[in-house]
Amino acid sequence: MANMLFLITSLMMVSFFMFDKIVAYDPHPLQDICVADLNSTVRVNGLPCKDPSTVKADDFFFSGMDKPGNTTNPIGATFAPVNVRQVPGANTLGLTVARLDFAAGGYLPPHYHPRASEFLMILEGSMEVGMVVPSLGYRLLNKTLNKGDAFVVPVGLVHYQRNKASDGKKTVAFAALNSQNPGLTVLANSVFGANPEISGDLLAEAFRLDAKTVEGLQALRPQ
């Protein structure tokens, strides 16, 4: 049953990126394959191709999506992407997938992907997902997803995920993003964790906070 669910999930994710009406945010590939040369020092928008004569099946293979992530961290969750760094054969294909694991109460804080839309599917447990739509007056659209449910987050929209389960059960989900480098911007880190710091006076005024609160938030930034 688990293998069948995994197969269905994989097929759905592949189909998501093959529909004619789905537009990837990366350029279309100009050749059948362009296996990334991860050792090249050349910097382009993507990665240079290695010699086609050296291509092998393992360049398109990854093993480990079935392995749970370590959720013993402050947010009780992990986001484990699989992209061109793990699968060099994915270079130029405009695709990243990820496994998400959440302990009970675990969450991914408000964030956005500047270069990709996200297709999310629940494989185990349940999850609350919410996104903010600026064109609707910054309206929050949120939904509780259960096993087999899916949700799509458009490119650039702030969103979050969390496991609200009161029974202590974990959540496992898979995500597909239509860019080989979707980006991940966490709002709190961008605003209060900027290096060098954004002026505390400005942040206090912008967020209607007192100076000490701003200082406390900036002190929490990742080192």
| Phi, psi (degrees; rounded to nearest 5) at 219 | -70, -20
pLDDT at 13: 55
What percentage of the chain reaches a pLDDT higher than 70? 87
Assess whether pLDDT exceeds 70 at residue 209: yes
Give this prediction's pTM: 0.83
Assess whether pLDDT exceeds 60 at residue 130: yes
Spatial separation of the C-alpha atoms in residues 9 and 4, rounded to whole Å: 9
pLDDT at 19: 45
Spatial separation of the C-alpha atoms in residues 149 and 112, rounded to whole Å: 21
Assess whether pLDDT exceeds 90 at residue 7: no
pLDDT at 111: 97
The answer to whether 113 is annotated as binding is yes
Q: At what angle do helices 200-207 and 211-219 cross, to 10 degrees?
A: 110
Q: Compute the mean pLDDT over every residue in the chain, rounded to the nearest whole number.
A: 89
pLDDT at 23: 52
Summarised one tens digit per residue, pLDDT across range 41-100 is 887 777 899 999 999 999 999 999 999 999 999 999 999 999 999 999 999 999 999 999
The answer to whether 128 is annotated as binding is no
Q: How far is CA 57 from CA 65, 84, 121, 136, in A?
A: 18, 14, 28, 47
Cβ-contact 139, 197 below 8 angstroms: no
Tokens of 82: 């699989």
Assess whether pLDDT exceeds 50 at residue 20: no
User: Which position has the token pair 């900036």?
Assistant: 218
H or E segment to which residue 18 belongs: helix 2-18
pLDDT band at 175 (very low <50, low <70, confident <90, very high): very high
The answer to whether 28 is annotated as binding is no
- Fold topology of 2-183: Jelly Rolls (2.60.120)
Mean pLDDT over 15-19 rounds to 47
Strands 96-102 and 126-133, sheet pairing: unpaired
pLDDT at 221: 74
Strand segments (E) across 139-198: 139-146, 150-153, 159-162, 171-177, 185-186
Mean pLDDT over 177-196 rounds to 94
Summarised one tens digit per residue, pLDDT across range 31-40 is 788 899 888 8
11 or 90: whose pLDDT is higher? 90
